[in-house]
Amino acid sequence: MRPDPSRILFLDIETIPQAYGWSELDTDTAKLFSDKTRYEQERNGKTAEELWSMRGGILAEFGKIVCIGVGSLHQAGGTHKLRVTSFHGTNEYDVLTRFTGLLNRHYDTDDHWLCAHNGKEFDFPYIARRCLVHRVPLPRILDIGGLKPWEVGHLDTMNMWSFGDRKAYTSLALLVHILGIPTPKDDITGADVARVFYEEDGLERIATYCKKDVVATVQLYLRLTGVDPLPQEAITMV
């Protein structure tokens, strides 16, 4: 039985390396990153310094969250409406406390769910790990230690597409394209986020990009569950 869409919080996160350039790292952090990525270095023929710009923001031990976009569906006039907003800022602790406050207030029972694209492998554990770093108490819906798989209220549109095939990553952009899902056009990609943050001070631009990805995730979820995508007039981004 599928969850009631109005009980799902759809989300996407944007992350960056804690330092923009390799030369900004202290000796211990550089060594620890090199140790953690040694297999990738050997497999790809790259140095730790070369991997930093690609992987520094992807690994929760070395990155930080600058934006969490969220979206929720509700019924109005017999049709679904979507409201999307974001928690973003340069202070990761503040971003996390505002986001977890939302979860604690409105997504704190067994019939609530989180949904993201590749969320089970990336967004959900990344948020939880950064909460632990900052001593932010984990909301019930993220505190999944010891739970059985069917007790975890996490949905993942990439897993929904895989049908059990876990061998390859399928991007959100690819799925919305092949399924003909209309989505807002972006002027940046995930690979641009660190540059836009550090070089252009473009946090608002990153937040807009993040919210558009939330819209795409919602549209993909609806399509994968046999529901027509929402028309643009049913979507509000604030």
What's the pLDDT band for 9 if we cut at 50, 70, 90?
very high
**Pairing relationship of beta strands 113-116 and 8-17 according to DSSP bridges:** parallel
- CA distances to 19, 25, 27, 57, 60 from 35, in Å: 18, 14, 12, 16, 15
| CB contact at 8 A, 99 and 87 | yes
Taking the C-alpha atoms of residue 56 and residue 74, their distance in angstroms, rounded to an integer, is: 37
pLDDT tens digits, 139-157: 999 999 888 988 899 999 9
Q: What is the pLDDT of residue 149?
A: 87
Question: Which residues are CB-contacts of 217 (< 8 A; sequence separation ≥ 6)?
Answer: 10, 11, 12, 71, 115, 116, 117, 157, 172
The predicted-structure confidence for 17-33, as pLDDT tens digits, reads as follows 999 999 999 999 999 99
Q: Is 99 helix (H, G, I), strand (E, B) or coil?
A: helix
Going along the chain from its start, the domains and CATH numbers come out as 5-18+56-237 (3.30.420.10)
Size of the chain, expressed as the number of residues it contains: 238
- What Cα–Cα distance (Å) separates residue 228 from each residue in 11, 65, 80, 115, 231? 20, 32, 10, 18, 9
Burial class (CB in 10 A: 0-12, 13-18, 19+), 32: middle
**Long-range contacts at 166-172 (CB < 8 A, ≥ 24 apart):** 169/118, 172/117, 172/118, 172/213, 172/216, 172/217, 172/220
158 pLDDT more than 80: yes
Please check the confidence at residue 168 and state whether its pLDDT lies above 80. Answer: no
Looking up tokens 């993942």, which residue turns up? 156
Spatial CB neighbours of 62, under 8 Å, sequence gap ≥ 6: 17, 18, 29, 33, 55, 56
Helix, strand or coil, per DSSP, at residue 136 = coil
Q: Quick one: pLDDT at residue 79?
A: 86
pLDDT at 118 over 90: yes
In this model, does residue 77 exceed pLDDT 90? no
pLDDT at site 221: 97
- Is the pLDDT score of 179 beyond 80? yes
3-state secondary structure at position 31 = helix
**Stretch 2-15: mean pLDDT:** 94
DSSP classification of residue 231: P
pLDDT tens by residue, 182-225: 877 678 888 899 999 999 999 999 999 999 999 999 999 999 99
